[in-house]
Structure 1
Amino acid sequence: MEKKLDKLDVLEQKVNNFEKEINKVWTNIQDQNKKIEERFMVVEEKAESSDFNLGLTNDKLITMQRENNALKDDIVYLQSQSMRNNLVFANIDESPSGVLENTEQKLREFLEQNMKIAKEQVERMAFERVHRMGNKIPGRTRNIVAKFTLFKERELVRKQWKTLDKTKYYVHEQFPKEIIAKRRELVPKMKEAKRNGHNAWISYDTLYVNGKAQRDERS
């Protein structure tokens, strides 16, 4: 068992190194995306000129738009990879304004008391960061986002979600806003499949029914 854990630690280190490389690639892609958008604007301005060949302009615009969309998809994917160790916790009571809150300690207490994770395991867990999301709004409780150092510990916590059933609390993975929008569109289809007796779930931005990915008919 210790050897397997050591191998898992080595694998987690490789994943962390990979994430660092992803962040570098992400930065480069964002720079390329900005340049393409600038080129796109220049081409649009030229298209307004009567001296510019309209047919050629349309071809270039279509090509550049496709490139731009592809880059945006890459950026969204890289964002999701940078969030792979994150979990979002909702409705954990927040300290009043003016009171300093130890968010990480509050989360550890929640994991132990509400998610029924052994105290020893909770104490061993390592976080890169634990913080409230967004600006404080009177009368509202901000979600807590936790970035786990180890993916296996994130998974251990995520799989305890059923302990929060029938409570005001819930926990979910963190995704870029584009992926969240796609997942919301798939929820009604997932519920319908379940009502029809199928085994259905959503993974990333894809609906699976009885183990088979359900692709968008328009794609």
Structure 2
Amino acid sequence: MPKTPQAAASKRSRPESSSPMSSPPSKQFEDILDSINTKLSSFDARLALVEVLHREFQALRDSLEFSQRQVVELTTENQGLRDEVKSLNKGLTGLTQDNKKMKESILDLQSRSMRDNLVFAGLPERAEEDTEASLRDFMQKEQVKSRGRELRGTDFSVNDQFPKEILDRRRLLFPVRRKLIAEGSRAVITVDRLYVNGQLFRDPAVTPWLY
């Protein structure tokens, strides 16, 4: 049976029914925007964290560079101080050597000035005596030193006059001289030098003034 025009028109005018499970377009658009906003927020948070980490890294690098500069400055300063100490030690060594040379020169001058002086020991003292006359009675000028050996074993002695420091040095050398002579060596003391078989005796423990 053929369709009537009224029936066809009625069919065309009926609205298509939508699926009850589908969402309206506006809702889908909002969901997409929310998702984008969430991702953007997450991205902003990560970007902020990166910026914080970058600032901390920059501060750490600046601190490290500052520490390295300080190390370089301290190393340079330390080297400068070492050079100054080295220079001071060198100068002090030079002053010590110069002082020693000056001291030895003074002692030598004192010894030379006392070269013609003799020290007499063992002569009895008498009240109101003439010392010079007593000495003249005891000695015969030029022969005194050459005949000094004749006084061995007596209470008398005749010795050259020396500064106290030279006498202290000679006291250190006398026992060494006696020992060397007992061993058969020829040992002679001249001022504050000991010569053994013609060679100068040197020993840091006995003759430190020679070093």
Query: Normalising by structure 2, what TM-score?
Result: 0.53
Greater helix proportion? 2
What displacement does 1:66 show? 1.8
Equivalent residue number for residue 112 of structure 2: 81
| Distance in 1 separating the partners of 2:88 and 2:199 | 42
Greater strand proportion? 1
RMSD of aligned C-alpha atoms? 2.2
Equivalent residue number for residue 137 of structure 1: none
Instruction: Give the alignment partner of residue 177 of structure 1, picking from 164, 175, 180.
Output: 164
Matched, 1:105 2:133: yes
Equivalent residue number for residue 46 of structure 1: none
The one-letter code of the counterpart of 1:110 is: F
What displacement does 1:183 show? 1.1
Q: Number of residues paired by the alignment?
A: 124
The 1:211/1:57 distance shift into structure 2, 3 A limit, reads closer
Query: Normalising by structure 1, what TM-score?
Result: 0.51
| Distance in 1 separating the partners of 2:162 and 2:108 | 9
Equivalent residue number for residue 63 of structure 1: 94
Instruction: Give the alignment partner of residue 187 of structure 2, picking from 192, 200, 219.
Output: 200
Identity rate, percent: 40
Matched, 1:209 2:193: no
Q: Secondary structure at the match of 1:208?
A: strand
| Distance in 2 separating the partners of 1:200 and 1:82 | 25
The one-letter code of the counterpart of 1:183 is: R
What displacement does 1:171 show? 0.8
The one-letter code of the counterpart of 1:104 is: E
Q: Secondary structure at the match of 2:129?
A: coil
What displacement does 1:70 show? 1.1
| Distance in 2 separating the partners of 1:186 and 1:179 | 11
What displacement does 1:178 show? 1.7
The 1:63/1:194 distance shift into structure 2, 3 A limit, reads same
Output one character per residue of 1:106-162: Cα deviation in whole Å (capped at 9) or x when no partner: 101112xxxxxxxxxx4xx5xxxxxxxxxxxxxxxxxxxxxxxxxxx2xx3111112
What displacement does 1:59 show? 3.1
Q: Secondary structure at the match of 2:170?
A: helix
The one-letter code of the counterpart of 2:131 is: T
Greater RCO, 1 or 2 (C-alpha within 8 Å, sep 6+): 1
